[in-house]
């Protein structure tokens, strides 16, 4: 039997042991990444500090990019143990090795294919705008103008009338391909420099292409066969003169294939001066062959407007959409003897094609002079004024060709005819059928090539039609 003194001693010993255990019990935390245990730490704040440090290091390594540290799901469970010793350093080191990172970028997708990835949407938009501005400089100029604050005012009608209508106006710009941008997570090493991606888009790639001219080939036929512009053929083969190629010639048809195709539509206007019409009055009081000017003529002015469609700066189609008389001409009145001189023109030209439309205008084209206009419409070709047939037959580049001398300083030429319906020396009157429209010679399709010369100098036929 224990005495009271012994009981007191035992009780005291029990109380002291519990306190010792409590005093040596350590609280700690198990760390989990995506549900898998990594190790233990004294305090979750140590893990959060590691994540903060790693985030700063990732951003410091790629300061121009939007970087994200991939931590996964970090969770904790609180634990405690007698003299427990959490492996904090080992746990933090192991967790650091499990952390990854990625960049947030924007990929440029063309017709479903990724062309490249850049750092952000602003960069992607700037690249696309730069590509369009390469072929439509008006875009860049307009944006620059919008950045400058200027005072504006409304122009009066009188001021508007004084402005010249001539010039080019951009009416549309778009990509031929389907273009879109998407936000993506990407390896920072795969983010492209903006200039590098721009050059890839506008230069693309090419492979040398050679072609041996076959019998019956023409520049336009070859261009159509390879779906390229005739300008490419002229640019790559500077030895071609007067559109002359022959069987066996080897052409370089190499052409860059850009990743993006910019389609532009322009309204091009020009104001031209055209000659006054001539009114002939007969007088039986004057000797045969005599004439005098009764009223001096005054030239007129008109504005021609074309719709021009280009792809990457190369003309695809051009169309006359409007013709407005700015200054009406005053007819020149000439009195001549009563005897009619057969084959003499009036100076008033009708259209040689009924229901005509313009397929190519007069002037510089593909780096060389286009001496007339190309017309489509009714297939029967008619004399636009009285005259004498001066030439019928084949002409280099023109194919089947007719030249009419109107015996008043004017001559007209008709090229690419399918068939000729007149003979040399034949007198024709305005409206007479002279041939059928075709595609002979250097022709890209069925049309009439029509030229007018005055005293041997080429004229823009649109001045007279």
pLDDT tens for each residue of 24-49: 888 999 999 999 999 999 999 999 99
- 238: domain CATH number is 3.10.350.10
Residue 347 within any structural domain of the chain: yes
459 contacts 452 by C-beta, under 8 angstroms: yes
231 occurs within a structural domain: yes
d(CA 209, CA 430): 49
Asked if 145 and 216 count as a contact pair (C-beta separation under 8 A), the reply is no
Query: Measured between alpha carbons, how far is 458 from 370 in angstroms, rounded to an integer?
Result: 10
Q: Answer whether 114's CB lies under 8 Å from 107's CB.
A: yes
The highest-confidence range among 29-33, 171-175, 189-193, 368-372, by mean pLDDT, is: 29-33
What is the domain count for the chain? Answer: 3
Residue where a domain terminates, one of 98, 128, 159? 98
Domain assignment present for 345: yes
What integer pLDDT is reported at residue 124 of this predicted model?
Answer: 92
Q: Report d(CA 288, CA 346) in Å as an integer.
A: 18
Break the chain down into helix, strand, coil percent, rounded to 5.
Answer: 25, 40, 35
Asked which of 66, 98, 130 is the last residue of a domain, the reply is: 98
Q: Please check the confidence at residue 207 and state whether its pLDDT lies above 70.
A: no
In this structure, are 347 and 446 located in the same domain?
A: yes
* Cα–Cα dist 30/42, whole Å: 9
Could you tell me which of 127, 251, 246 has the C-alpha nearest to residue 193?
Answer: 127
Domain span at residue 241 reads 210-252
What is the domain-level CATH number for residue 367? 2.70.70.10
pLDDT of residue 241 exceeding 90, the answer is no
- What pLDDT is recorded for position 13? 47
Task: Give pLDDT tens digits for 333-362.
Answer: 888 776 555 778 888 899 999 999 998 889
Stretch 216-225: mean pLDDT: 84
Provide the pLDDT for residue 355.
93
pLDDT score recorded for residue 159: 41
Rounded-to-integer distance, Cα 287 and Cα 293, Å? 15
**For residue 19, pLDDT beyond 80:** no
Average pLDDT score over residue span 103-130: 91
Instruction: Return the closest-CA partner of residue 414 out of 465, 448, 388.
Output: 448
Same domain, 347 and 242: no
Residues 351 and 465 in one domain: yes
In a domain, 67, yes or no: yes
How crowded is residue 62: how many other Cβ atoms within 10 Å of its Cβ?
15
Mean pLDDT of the chain: 84
Mean pLDDT of 413-434: 95
The mean per-residue pLDDT over the stretch 129-152 comes to 63
Residue 378 lies in a domain: yes
pLDDT recorded at residue 2: 37
Question: Which range is least confidently modeled, 113-127, 218-232, 274-288, 289-303?
Answer: 274-288
Judged against a pLDDT cut of 60, whether residue 15 lies above it is answered with no
State pLDDT tens for residues 308-322.
888 888 787 888 888
Interval 43-80: pLDDT, tens: 999 999 999 999 898 888 888 888 888 899 999 999 99
- Tell me which of 190, 223, 252 is where a domain ends: 252
345 and 240 assigned to the same domain? no
């Amino acid at each position: 039997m224990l005495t009271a003194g012994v009981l007191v001693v035992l009780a005291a010993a029990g109380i002291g042991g519990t306190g010792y255990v409590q005093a040596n019990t350590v609280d700690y935390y198990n760390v989990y990444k995506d549900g898998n245990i990594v190790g233990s730490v004294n305090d979750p704040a140590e893990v959060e500090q590691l994540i903060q440090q790693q985030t700063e290091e990732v951003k410091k390594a790629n300061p121009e990019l939007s970087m994200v540290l991939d931590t996964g799901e970090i969770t904790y469970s609180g634990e405690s143990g007698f003299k427990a010793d959490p492996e904090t350093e080992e746990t933090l080191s192991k967790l650091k090795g499990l952390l990854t990172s990625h960049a947030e970028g924007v990929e440029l997708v063309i017709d479903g294919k990724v062309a490249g990835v850049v750092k952000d949407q602003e960069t992607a938009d700037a690249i696309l705008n730069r590509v369009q501005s390469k072929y439509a400089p008006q875009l860049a100029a307009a944006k620059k103008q919008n950045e400058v604050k200027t005072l504006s005012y409304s122009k009066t009608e009188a001021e508007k009338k004084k402005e010249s209508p001539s010039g080019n106006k951009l009416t549309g710009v778009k990509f031929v391909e389907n273009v879109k941008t998407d936000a993506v997570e990407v390896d920072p090493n795969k983010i492209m420099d903006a200039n590098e991606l721009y050059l890839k888009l506008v230069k693309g790639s090419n492979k040398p292409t050679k072609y041996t001219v076959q019998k019956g080939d023409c520049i336009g036929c070859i261009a159509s066969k390879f779906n390229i512009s005739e300008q490419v053929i002229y640019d790559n083969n500077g030895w071609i003169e007067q559109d002359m190629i022959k069987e066996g010639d080897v052409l370089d048809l190499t052409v860059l294939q850009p990743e993006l195709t910019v389609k532009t539509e322009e309204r091009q206007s020009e104001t031209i001066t055209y000659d006054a019409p001539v009114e002939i009055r007969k007088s039986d009081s004057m000797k045969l062959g005599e004439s005098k000017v009764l009223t001096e003529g005054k030239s007129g002015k008109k504005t021609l407007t074309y719709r021009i469609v280009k792809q990457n700066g190369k003309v695809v189609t051009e169309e006359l959409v409007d013709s407005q008389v700015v200054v009406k001409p005053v007819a020149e009145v000439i009195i001549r003897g009563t005897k009619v001189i057969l084959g003499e023109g009036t100076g008033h030209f009708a259209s040689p094609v009924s229901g005509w439309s313009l397929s190519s205008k007069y002037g510089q084209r593909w780096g060389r002079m286009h001496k007339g206009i190309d017309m489509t419409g009714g297939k029967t070709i008619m004399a636009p004024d009285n005259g004498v047939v001066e030439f019928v037959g084949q002409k280099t580049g023109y194919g089947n060709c007719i030249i009419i001398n109107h015996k008043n300083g004017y001559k007209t030429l008709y090229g690419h005819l399918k068939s000729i319906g007149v003979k040399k020396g034949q007198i024709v009157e305005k409206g007479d059928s002279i041939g059928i429209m075709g595609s002979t010679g250097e022709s890209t399709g069925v049309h009439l090539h029509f030229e007018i010369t005055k005293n041997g100098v080429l004229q823009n036929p649109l001045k007279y039609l």
